Amino acid sequence: MTDSRPIGVFDSGVGGLTVLRELRRQTPSERLLYIADLANFPYGPRPQADVRERALGIIDALTALDTKLVVIACNTATAAALDRARERFDIPVVGVIAPGAQAAVLTTRNGRIAVLSTEGTLRSQAYVHAIKEANPGVAVLGIAAPALVDIVEDGAADTPRADAALRLVLRDVVEWGADTLVLGCTHYPLLRAALRRVIRRRHIAVVDSAETTAARVRRILAVNRLAARAGRQGTLDLFVTDAPERFSETAARLFGETLGPPRMFMIGEPALRVVAER
């Protein structure tokens, strides 16, 4: 039994494309829909209630497009809306926090895990809860690094500007003695080149949730018999709520790949509606 319906993925900007890229790699037969909510970027500084309402509205729109599963490819939105989404919708909804937390617990050797995140994710304490659930004996240091999101969205992830911002942030991580660093925002994996330069020979393992989130999606598809027919060619449809040209330029710069022009999602009541611009 196979299921040809699409998988929905969303984030406030280009950061969720790190998860999307891994989904394309691990589930090549699937149809994927990606929404970048640039009209409300960034989510990090927004009140949790606002992010929750926004995320639930996007998931509502994705279910109206007959998606079989939704990935919240944003740590801030996962913290704000995942539990409520699982209560409200009758399809699987996957977040990015638990997979990253579990990977970090399996990675650390000295039991000290630092988490870089947005202000919203830090305030929620979602990573602390997820890590402690996996291993109560692990110590967690949370650090908000909102400037890194702007650096990525500006297409400056591999520049001296990124290096300088990371040096400032990682000073606390090194002084605290963490041996594992969780990239608690889907934008942050795009800073890996700068991270390598800044970390250098320090023995700090870097964990991001893209690979583990995609693996969880793959398992859910298999267990629930939701996977598309093996061997079929997967497809990708991109949507934005604002600034399609900026999205395309930034995505191409960061990923070295032209993903194709996105279509607009317009805000409507009670949810989003698609404007067909093919």
Helices vs. strands in the chain: H and E counts, helices first: 11, 11
Q: At what angle do helices 97-107 and 210-223 cross, to 10 degrees?
A: 120
Concatenated DSSP letters of 119-147: HHHHHHTHHHHHHHHH-TT-EEEEEE-TH
Q: CA-to-CA distance for 71 and 23, rounded, in angstroms? A: 10
- The reply to whether 74 belongs to the active site is yes
Q: CA-to-CA distance for 247 and 253, rounded, in angstroms? A: 10
Strands of the chain (E only): list them.
Answer: 7-11, 31-36, 69-72, 93-94, 112-117, 139-144, 180-184, 205-207, 235-240, 263-267, 272-274
From edge to edge, which strands make up the β-sheet containing 180-184?
A: 139-144, 112-117, 180-184, 205-207
CA 12 distance to own-chain centroid? 9
Catalytic residue among 70, 73, 74, 157: 74
Task: For strands 263-267 and 272-274, give the pairing.
Answer: antiparallel
Q: Which of 86, 59, 34, 33 is nearest to 272 (CA)?
A: 59
CA-based R_g, the chain, Å: 18
Please tell me whether residue 237 adopts helix, strand or coil conformation. strand
Catalytic residue among 36, 69, 170, 185: 185
Cβ neighbours of residue 246 closer than 8 Å, sequence gap 6 or more: 38
Q: Which residues are catalytic?
A: 74, 185
